[in-house]
Amino acid sequence: MEKHGFRRRVMEYAFSDSALRSSEDFIIENVQIFCEELSNTAATPSKWGTPQDMNSWSTYLNYDIMGDLTFSTKFNCMRSEEHRYVPAIMITGTEFLYNFGYLPFVRFVRPLLGSKLLEILGGKLARDGKRYVEYAARQMVLRLEDTEKNDADFPRKDLMHYLINAEDPQTGQGLSPTELAAESSLLMAAGSDTTSTALSGTFFYLLHSPECLEKATIEVRSMFNSIEEIRGGSSLGSLVYLRACIDETLRLSPPVTTNLMVEVLPGGLAVDGNHFPEGTTLGVSPYVVHHNAQYYPDPYVYRPERWISRDKHCSVLTDDQKSTVESVANARSAFFAFSAGPHGCLGKNLAYLELIITLAMLLFKFDIRIPQDKELREPSGEGMSGNKHPGRRRRDEYQLVEHFIPIKKGPMVQFRDARWELID
């Protein structure tokens, strides 16, 4: 716990407002490349381009962003295949560790982690996990070498800068190379895949709710005169409806759907009249809470308006279309897409900045739609009518398969250069 507290305090500086402002240029640079690459698949205002898998594109974008922000390194996944295998092995490796952690005899086989025997027993998932850990450790080594070459005066303060230079105020010691490698592995996974899930999910829900897509597009195109104007500040913060679209996506398909387990401390714990003794592990899935009708009426309906109260200005909604202040507060009280308390995600504001800049630029520059040809819609991300589980039949729900880092597919999206009749 003490080590966790120390690292968390260090990372609070890395995700501070000032650090966030310095990250913005690198986010925008990568989103501009994202738009350029999608432009190559798009067509003129009168024609639609080749369908694109937004799960893959969102993954490449956010992995490139985290390479820039974590190591000051260009992975170039959006333009090159060299590093594209890494997000895939990150997901399968996490799937192995997630399932491994639930084995009833895990404490006896934990010492085998990273061993050749476990690679054999665990198969491809275990081997991918090892490859990902080794890859992250290698990136950390390269980052440290760059620091030494620059006489410890690295050109800018990326996320690793704060960890490399951290010193525990009680012991005066910093993080060991092994600990730094572990942190780099965590930052790359937590910062890239969760945000890419939120981005591809927002595409899914906007495309399945045409009236929401139209409102979000009008809001963006009414706010800015050029794509270069889309930067942090009051204008970006005024995209109230687009932010609500993101929140509603995070509610319906939270990037971390699993229970984040905690252990009951000495003395036990009482929850809703139930006593849990010391040592019990407890957890609540954000997905379950986010679909509780007590907080979210019509919980399976995509409704961004539930996040916008009548005391808040929103250019694309009338007061009658907004929610009451009380209902918004009620919804906020149960919103745990970024967890809460000591487990709350430090990268929350960074994730929102990435998401809103990316979506604003794309909606400004492109019209988007689901491919009209049914054969070109797969993978769609939709539920399947023949599935044996009712929850997997919802065609208007972005399907996530939980392995801590979720497995998802699609949606397929077509782009074309924007037509501006929407705001005429």
Name all domains of the chain by residue range, CATH numbers in brackets: 2-256+337-423 (1.10.630.10)
Q: What percent of the chain has pLDDT over 90?
A: 48
364: left (phi over 0), alpha (psi -120 to 50) or beta: alpha
User: 416, 366 in Cβ contact below 8 A?
Assistant: yes
The model's confidence at residue 136, banded by pLDDT at 50, 70 and 90, is confident
Predicted pLDDT at 81: 93
Mean pLDDT within 228-245: 92
Q: What percent of the chain has pLDDT over 70?
A: 87
Asked whether the predicted pLDDT for residue 133 surpasses 90, the reply is: no
User: 236, 354 in Cβ contact below 8 A?
Assistant: no
Q: What residues form DSSP beta bridges with 263?
A: 281
User: 230, 224 in Cβ contact below 8 A?
Assistant: yes
Residues 385-416 have pLDDT tens digits of 888 888 899 999 999 988 777 889 999 999 99
The model's confidence at residue 120, banded by pLDDT at 50, 70 and 90, is low
Asked whether the predicted pLDDT for residue 325 surpasses 50, the reply is: yes
Predicted pLDDT at 299: 97
The model's confidence at residue 363, banded by pLDDT at 50, 70 and 90, is very high
Asked whether the predicted pLDDT for residue 154 surpasses 60, the reply is: no
Rg (CA), the chain: 22
Exposure of 230 by Cβ count < 10 A (0-12 exposed, 13-18 middle, 19+ buried)?
A: buried
Q: Please indicate whether residue 44 or residue 141 has the higher confidence score (pLDDT).
A: 141
Predicted pLDDT at 124: 77
- The mean of the pLDDT values for the chain is 86
The model's confidence at residue 153, banded by pLDDT at 50, 70 and 90, is low
Which residues lie below 8 Å from residue 143, measured CB to CB, with a gap of 6+?
71, 72, 73, 160, 164, 184
User: 241, 216 in Cβ contact below 8 A?
Assistant: yes
Own/partner pairs for 37-42, CB < 8 Å, 24+ apart?
Answer: 37/78, 37/79, 38/362, 38/366, 38/415, 39/365, 39/415, 39/417, 41/415, 42/366, 42/415, 42/416, 42/417
190: left (phi over 0), alpha (psi -120 to 50) or beta: alpha
User: 353, 27 in Cβ contact below 8 A?
Assistant: yes
Sign of the CA dihedral with 236 first, then 408, 371, and 215 last: negative
Predicted pLDDT at 421: 54
Predicted pLDDT at 151: 46
The model's confidence at residue 424, banded by pLDDT at 50, 70 and 90, is very low
Residues 185-227 have pLDDT tens digits of 888 877 778 899 999 999 999 999 999 999 999 999 999 999 9
Query: Out of 108-117, 190-199, 327-336, 342-351, which region has the weakest mean confidence (pLDDT)?
Result: 108-117
Q: How far apart are the first and last CA of the chain?
A: 57
User: 409, 381 in Cβ contact below 8 A?
Assistant: yes
Mean pLDDT within 312-325: 96
Predicted pLDDT at 150: 60
pTM of the predicted model as reported, rounded to 2 decimal places: 0.89
Asked whether the predicted pLDDT for residue 348 surpasses 70, the reply is: yes
Structure tokens at 321: 């279309």
Query: Out of 295-309, 349-363, 405-419, which region has the weakest mean confidence (pLDDT)?
Result: 405-419
Asked whether the predicted pLDDT for residue 422 surpasses 80, the reply is: no
Which residues lie below 8 Å from residue 135, measured CB to CB, with a gap of 6+?
86, 89
Mean pLDDT within 144-156: 64
